[in-house]
Structure 1
């Protein structure tokens, strides 16, 4: 169930450009609000005359009309969302994929204002390609964040053969509480410190907040910006996850030495689709590096555009693809020793 996968996202959010002009403001209003399943709350909001799904910790997704009280998103082609009405009021949303379904009970007709914590961000810095909203706690450090983003901007876009991007807004919250509210993830684990919230929007905790690794978080801004770039190429966050995180790790030059991992040293190579529990980060850089080294970076771009379709991107089977990647990693980082 694809929505269930999306619900597990912990690092990154976006909006598509598909038009939703078939619904009036009044028609959109009946769907807006909060929906709960087992204590996990998703929200539906109206943005620029479009209905947007807000999943905790993930980019916004546009809900595209697909029939009466029925919607789809561009992120997962095989999932549909059905809305249940009783006495003229929406009472539930059902996520369906094949024979599987999950029902979200509507618990409020009012959604949160995800710009509400912008009141904490009283300062603004404009650069050529970014708008940084921040508080006084970051008055001395905002330049280092801006410099890193601008310094990496041209390189990242060149890698993906893009001429330009929308100006990206970066919200830097002074504390974890403001950040969690801003991404609709009130129970986010403490290690979640930044997320792409759209193709021109990412949000982060201040590197000066209590208990935060400032060096790591400052390095992570290019990681989140890369997610925004990914969403501009194809609006499909975490689809597949190994590619979503791998590309961001590669572009932010976030390298973990694979020879330190038993599964690499012992040649117990996992299927890419199973990477999780942090392994998608630890192996992310070297997986994308291997694809670039073997097939060129155009293959990486093709994989993004096709959502991980190996056959159409490199014309071999998935088994051959994964074997080639891991053998390359092993030869480059383990065998040489």
Structure 2
């Protein structure tokens, strides 16, 4: 590895691996229907260290006006949610790094704002399924190094990167992904001076610090033993995923704007990596992505690591440019 991982990361992510099968999990998950699953083999799912709710999801966070925020540094990443006529909201990665899921409601829509640090996957979902509003938490399990969520109502397990139930009564159900994106705090603030930003949670966490120091410069991802991505792309290189297509961020940074597949994709410098230095705001510049359709409407997408994209979309299309 090009950098040493911090001791905090090792302590957080060095689990005592146990056999991966329902007989081991049932004592902690008595209400989960393990007879229903879309997982190929149970050993795809492994412990990430913390148990159920060991990483505490947040519910109904409080917000404050942009002008009152003093803690967040200009280049720190936030997840931006601009939904309908509701006041735009920023969910700082400094909080999501430690909580991974935020159950909220904006403009009358119940949402789950999610971030998996090990895959750099930041997705926002509508929490309504079949007329029921679900509340999501963190199982403490990983599949292809991606967070496995659960819903409190049916105790089904969900793959965060896909927004799809993979174990339990709701197996096969997909959540509706909502357009949200990661950008720097300064970008959000400049565009939304009357916007809202999530206030610091009342938990004892080192908010603003990165326990995964140096992770996105590593040669190999944690808890992943699948095949590497094709085309010589580094496993921990960032890619933009829209549907089953992926654009390398290296290409987007080089071209800055691309019009392909009915999309207008823009890259802009100024956002710090949340997985580089010990202090999130000091991370190297990885830039921000905005994805719109031909009518200028924002499109749901993800900026994730290449290994995770290839693991969940092995038949996906790599948009390499130059006829690739």
Asked whether the two chains share a fold, i.e. TM above 0.5, the reply is no
Determine which structure has more spread, i.e. the larger CA radius of gyration.
1
Q: Shorter-chain TM-score category?
A: under 0.3
TM-score normalised per structure 2: 0.26
Greater length-normalized contact order (CA 8 Å, ≥ 6 residues apart): 2
